[in-house]
Amino acid sequence: MGRDQRYAAWMGVTFMTADNGDVILGDLTLAQREAVTHVDGPLLVLAGAGSGKTRTITRRMAYLAAQGIAPMNILAVTFTNKAAAEMRNRTLALLAGLSLRHGSVPTVCTFHSLCARLLREFSSAIGLPAAFGILDTADQLKLIRQALEKNGLSPENFAPARVLDKISGAKNRLQQADAFAAAATGYFDTSVAKVYRVYEELLAAGKAVDFDDLLLKTALLLRDNAEIRNRLQGRFRYILIDEYQDTNHAQFVIAHMLAMEHENICVTGDPDQSIYAWRGANLSNILEFEKFFPRARVVLLEQNYRSTKTILQAASALITHNRLRKRKDLWTENAVGAKILRICSADEKQEAREIVRRLRDWHERGGISWDKMAVFYRVNAISRVLEEALMEAGLPYQIVRGTEFYARKEVKDVLAYLKLLVNPDDTLSFQRVINVPARGLGETSVSRLADFAAHAGISLPTACRRAEEIPDLTKRAVEAFRRFAALIDSLRILAIPPAGASHLPARQAGTDTLLPGSPEVSRDASGTNEFDPLYDPVLAAETTASTELSTFSADADENSPPGPDSHRDATGESGYPHAAEDPVGSRRFPPIATIMKEVIHRAEFIHESKTRTMDEESLQRQSNIQELINVATEYDRQNPAGSLADYLTQVALVSDVDRLGEKSGAVTLMTLHAAKGLEFPVVAIVAMEEGILPHERALGFQGRAQDVEEERRLCFVGMTRAMQQLILSCSCYRMIMGRSEGRLASRFLKEIPDECVVKIDLLTQERPAGSPGYRDENVDPPRPFRAKPAGYRDSAGKSIAAAEPASAPARFRKGSLVRHQKFGVGRIAELTPVGEKTRVVVEFQSAGRRSLFLEHARLEPVDG
DNA sequence: GCAGCCTTGTTTTTT
DNA sequence: ACAAGGCTGC
């Protein structure tokens, strides 16, 4: 709410018209109104940075609803889940105030999640299994390596990342393997064409798609299937697409296919903020929108409500250096504001310390809460030195992806188990977890198993169950495989209760029965599918194995009907549940967090906790797994009807920014790319050096002029995130890949007018103490934050109170009582500095004496 | 089959 | 500087 009040207060003009007081239009500018009230027909909104684009979009959705259009007929597509969530919430809040006839809600999501949803809904139409998995980049690379190997190509000559890049590019252009092969010229491309084919085969075998497939398959579905296209055109009668400058060809086709009939398509974007050409974004989608939709109305939003005049002037000056650009003039009625600080340091450590010093000054003397400050950089690698400086100073901070949470090994391991439960054909996940934790199953045994599975045409988990049939396996390996199969089986019964399990025909004494026992299926006998917390999956696996195993069916999608001597039976079909089929609508599945805990427990993931000395690493692993459970618990709370498959889809499509905590009370560190769409009162952009901010890949002989222009846009995006105070920083030397390198200031720094800038040269630090130049507070006083409208101040004040560093070292002394989330309460026995960190020895009441790192252990002080 | 050492590459940016 | 993967010696 503070945000809206702020806009209202900053708005030079409020419109005192008949509409005044109208919650939708009351406080909009003329241009914004024009965009909001344009109902039918194509609309292009060219929205400059900070011009109130999001509010325009949300108001427009509310306006459409107020015109009698059912919200469920509105589709809004954004770039990140976070943006989608914000837009959805703001729109729903507006809709709530309208007392509409239609109680429905609009669809607000990202392109990728929209596509995932549509592909699941229409999976049968394109021969895709409904339970398809979604690969992340690491998985894609593994598949590429396998495909290279099958083609006899070495990863040395064909860098997997580059091959993947080619394939990804092709998919973004809707070019499938055959078309790519036909168009390929030259040795590299013809080789990639072969890899592309095999890669596709591997994807299909694993019943998986990659990120690009989500778009490609949806685009082709809409293009080639008129019936489904018509249905969806009817469903999504009004379409809004945000960040249109960053859409690629596949997204363009999806948008056009959905809109071609009714042409009620509104796209918003800013060519100056196009920063994703490297991954296939096509700027001409937005530049030539009027060509595709000649009836299009065009609205320009050029007034900026975010930044000071100084910041805007500097950013505008920078961006006018782009030659391939339509002229657009941003202006603001905001104050001139403080000068931009341009800091030049000796090395990256000094740079980081200086940034931290300034932020602390502004916090302590200016009363700016930590979460109003952000530091941006071009490449993730830069974050480390900043992190160290912040830690040393004891300031609270959050990094938007240091190493991505869901990419951590232990997290991926747990998720791989879950994936395997949903999709037994998921070869990658199988290979990942078959020996995690270690079960003595090495490469030789696993490849024998894989051969057997391939020969018999069965999934790997099924092959595990029949391990005794596999020749040349050691007794130990057979036993290990069978135990793994039993583990997966019992977990699956817990995770995905077979639909109508009570109606299962009693299974004939099986050829592949693992565990002897009565075929007693009692848990669903009552007819309810509710999850029973008292249900013991281990016990169930043992007592019902012979029946339940058939439902584990790895083979649900197999073409060949089960023959008389088949090891499976017809009930195998029930292996994949669909939440949508649940007639009651109540949760049929146990909570994801419960499944996850069971996986962790039964697979003995936390085995290491038994070892006495907890090193930093395993502690971190544990806390990551705990965090994974916490996130899953939150998912359960928000999606009480979500299936495991739904959860995995959601997890596959989260981005880093999505995990950005709003009320974190911490300084935020992120890449310039991640910063798009955000705003902060104080922003620092570091490492503004040739080769980093115009990144060297945009320079050099491979780089082209348009690449440098994209780098400039990236810089522009970063600068225009700043509301009040901007710091631009560079350093004379920097450690790059272990070597200290001399650096040159970025050309972008020279493109910013001197009158916007105060230069601070820390190289003069070498001079005798007290000499002018360095830390001259008269030249550069850390000014208190400019007084703001009331609504803003309140929230700032609140944040300050809550923003004390959570982990300030001073809070932990020898003898203080602390709580650890795993070990419970204990007393600090020792504190020793180790390099940048602090080793702390804690005497826990129940867990004994442990040595931990204060910075990682997440200790909480205990009063008394 | 596995643990530990040594080599190697890695640094754009992301759904 | 660091992480991950490969190699060697149990």
* Cβ(A712)–Cβ(A319) below 8 Å: yes
Which one of A254-263, A476-485, A490-499, A519-528 scores highest in mean pLDDT? Answer: A254-263
Could you tell me the two tokens for A566? 């088949």
C8 C1' to A187 CA distance, Å: 37
Please give the residue that has the higher pLDDT: either A255 or A615: A255
Nucleotide C4: closest residue by CA–C1': A409
B3 C1' to A436 CA distance, Å: 15
Angular region, A74: left φ>0, alpha ψ -120 to 50, beta rest = beta
**What is the mean predicted confidence (pLDDT) over A187-194?**
90
From A721, A743, A788, A858, the catalytic residue? A721
Tens digits of per-residue pLDDT, A810-821?
Answer: 567 777 777 766
Answer whether residue A763 shows pLDDT above 50: yes
pLDDT of residue A327: 85
Tell me, rounded to whole angstroms, the distance of Cα A303 from its chain centroid.
31
B15 C1' to A110 CA distance, Å: 9
Q: Is A54 a catalytic residue?
A: yes
Answer whether residue A567 shows pLDDT above 70: no
C6 C1' to A159 CA distance, Å: 18
pLDDT of residue A664: 74
From A210, A213, A242, A272, the catalytic residue? A242
Tell me, rounded to whole angstroms, the distance of Cα A188 from its chain centroid.
32
* Averaged confidence pLDDT in chain A: 78
pLDDT of residue A225: 95
Task: Kindly report which listed range (A67-71, A235-239, A448-452, A745-749) carries the lowest average pLDDT score.
Answer: A448-452
Is A39 exposed, middle or buried, given 0-12, 13-18 or 19+ CB atoms closer than 10 A?
Answer: middle
Answer whether residue A239 shows pLDDT above 80: yes
**What is the mean predicted confidence (pLDDT) over A200-217?**
92
| Protein residues with Cβ atoms closer than 7 angstroms to any atom of nucleic acid strand B | A 79-80, 110-113, 136-137, 156, 159, 161, 211-212, 278-279, 378-381, 401, 435, 438-445, 477, 653, 655-658, 670-671, 673-674, 695, 697-698, 736-738
Answer whether residue A268 shows pLDDT above 80: yes
Q: Is A765 a catalytic residue?
A: no
From A6, A53, A401, A788, the catalytic residue? A53
Please give the residue that has the higher pLDDT: either A592 or A550: A592
* Cβ(A176)–Cβ(A204) below 8 Å: no
- Give CA–CA dist A357/A393, Å, rounded: 8
Please give the residue that has the higher pLDDT: either A226 or A662: A226
Angular region, A21: left φ>0, alpha ψ -120 to 50, beta rest = left
pLDDT of residue A782: 35
Nucleotide closest in space to A654 (CA vs C1'): B15
pLDDT of residue A8: 39
Under the banding of pLDDT at 50, 70 and 90, the label for residue A475 is confident
- Give CA–CA dist A452/A471, Å, rounded: 9
pLDDT of residue A282: 92
- Among residues of chain A, what percentage have pLDDT more than 70? 76
**What is the mean predicted confidence (pLDDT) over A206-216?**
93
Nucleotide closest in space to A111 (CA vs C1'): B15
Q: Is A721 a catalytic residue?
A: yes
Task: Kindly report which listed range (A79-83, A221-225, A363-367, A561-565) carries the lowest average pLDDT score.
Answer: A561-565
Answer whether residue A109 shows pLDDT above 90: yes
Could you tell me the two tokens for A80? 């990140």
pLDDT of residue A768: 39
pLDDT of residue A673: 92
Q: Which residue type sits at A164?
A: L
Under the banding of pLDDT at 50, 70 and 90, the label for residue A378 is very high
pLDDT of residue A532: 35
**What is the mean predicted confidence (pLDDT) over A692-718?**
87
Which one of A12-21, A646-655, A788-797, A808-817 scores highest in mean pLDDT? Answer: A646-655
Could you tell me the two tokens for A387? 């992190």
Across the strands, what pairs with A229? Answer: none
Task: Kindly report which listed range (A112-121, A284-293, A360-369, A784-793) carries the lowest average pLDDT score.
Answer: A784-793
pLDDT of residue A856: 61
Q: Which residue type sits at A140?
A: Q
- Give CA–CA dist A270/A521, Å, rounded: 60
Tens digits of per-residue pLDDT, A575-590?
Answer: 333 333 333 334 457 8
Task: Kindly report which listed range (A128-137, A147-156, A235-244, A769-778) carries the lowest average pLDDT score.
Answer: A769-778
pLDDT of residue A848: 64
Whole-prediction pTM value?
A: 0.77
Answer whether residue A548 shows pLDDT above 90: no
Under the banding of pLDDT at 50, 70 and 90, the label for residue A233 is very high
Answer whether residue A608 shows pLDDT above 50: no
| Protein residues with Cβ atoms closer than 7 angstroms to any atom of nucleic acid strand C | A 403, 409, 735, 737-738
Please give the residue that has the higher pLDDT: either A79 or A403: A79
Q: How many CB atoms lie within 10 A of CB A647?
A: 24
From A6, A27, A34, A54, the catalytic residue? A54
Give the three-class secondary structure for A301. strand
**What is the mean predicted confidence (pLDDT) over A267-280?**
93
